Structure 1
Amino acid sequence: MTDPTDPLLEGPSAILAHLGVRMTGWDRDYARFEAEIAPFLLNRSEIPHGGVYATMLDTAMGYAGAYTGEAEDRRMTLTLSLTINYLSRPKGKLLIAEGHRVGGGAKTFFTEGRLTDETGELIATGQGTFRVRA
């Protein structure tokens, strides 16, 4: 896991702050985000809304291809395609999204992601295609 004092760790965007999502790891071809399960994230079935899972996976996978190693050199990405597979419900209280860059080139890249909880329960997986903004 990345040191929480690492200057490369970015603060959350407005949507991530609203959802309580924070970056907890970031390195070449990898990103990790976490969120405590809070009442406002729940759907009618009293489990986190699927859109929360999709947002966390989209974010982790996009950041996995955006790492530059330099705080001043921010690489921004756009989601071209996003597939989410919903597999289970959380058993714990913490959602953990991890994204990995698995291929592509300088402008377009491909990712895979996993959403788990602190018990290790696999909740959702994702695949994405992203483009680096000019």
Structure 2
Amino acid sequence: MPPDPGGTDSGARAHFRALESLYAAAPINQLFKSRLEIPESGIARIHFEIGEQYYHAGGAVHGTSYFKMLDDAAFYACNSLVSDRFLLTTAFNLLFTRPLRAGPAIAEGKWVSGQRRVFVGEARLIDEQGEEVARGTGTFMRSSIALAGLPGYRSA
């Protein structure tokens, strides 16, 4: 069972909304039509709208998009457990299982283990037919970056 980062349910919910705001404010997310949702500690979902601008020459979504979606979902699932520091990705492994085409997709992330310095998270990428197209596992480490000092980290 993941720990409650805020010590109270309302504190945790405020932290989740602030992380959602932080995600929306990140400059990289101007390139991706997406929205972060953190429903509970240790769980994150990112709703993406994938367009053909993300395709490689073979007519399917390029691997960089898979990485972005899976890393973000696993990362935010883990950072939902940490209310004071920004986590950093230290490693991430991907498994591609089928091509992803234009349309809506959801990256579902969850915290797996770790509560102090290093966290392990996993994510799966689901296409609009409900099929898993990829999965990934990452490790994330506490940084010296205070969440409260980041532009965008605020309760909605």
Please say if 1:34 is aligned against 2:44.
no
Aligned equivalents of 1:106 and 1:114: distance in 2? 24
Residue 105 of structure 1: how far off its partner (Å): 2.4
CA distance 1:46–1:12, shift in 2 (3 Å):
farther
Aligned equivalents of 1:111 and 1:57: distance in 2? 10
> Following superposition, which runs of at least 4 residues in structure 1 exceed 3 angstroms of deviation?
none
Alignment of 1:55-94 (within 5 A): 55-67=68-80, 73=83, 75-90=85-100, 93-94=103-104
- Give the CA RMSD over aligned residues: 2.2
Normalising by structure 1, report the TM-score: 0.83
Q: Answer whether contact 2:92 2:137 (CA < 8 A) is retained.
A: yes
Residue 53 of structure 1: how far off its partner (Å): 0.6
1:9 alignment counterpart = 20
Q: Answer whether contact 1:12 1:22 (CA < 8 A) is retained.
A: no
Deviations 1:25-73 (A, max 9, x none): 342101111211212111111111111010111111111111159xxx5
Aligned equivalents of 1:7 and 1:106: distance in 2? 21
1:118 alignment counterpart = 128
CA distance 1:105–1:68, shift in 2 (3 Å):
closer
Aligned equivalents of 2:27 and 2:19: distance in 1? 18
What amino acid maps onto 1:9 in structure 2? Answer: E
Q: Answer whether contact 1:22 1:34 (CA < 8 A) is retained.
A: yes
Larger Rg: 2
Q: How many residues align structurally?
A: 127
Residue 118 of structure 1: how far off its partner (Å): 2.4
Q: Which has the higher helix share?
A: 2
* Secondary structure in structure 2 of the residue aligned to 1:126: strand
2:4 alignment counterpart = none
2:33 alignment counterpart = 20
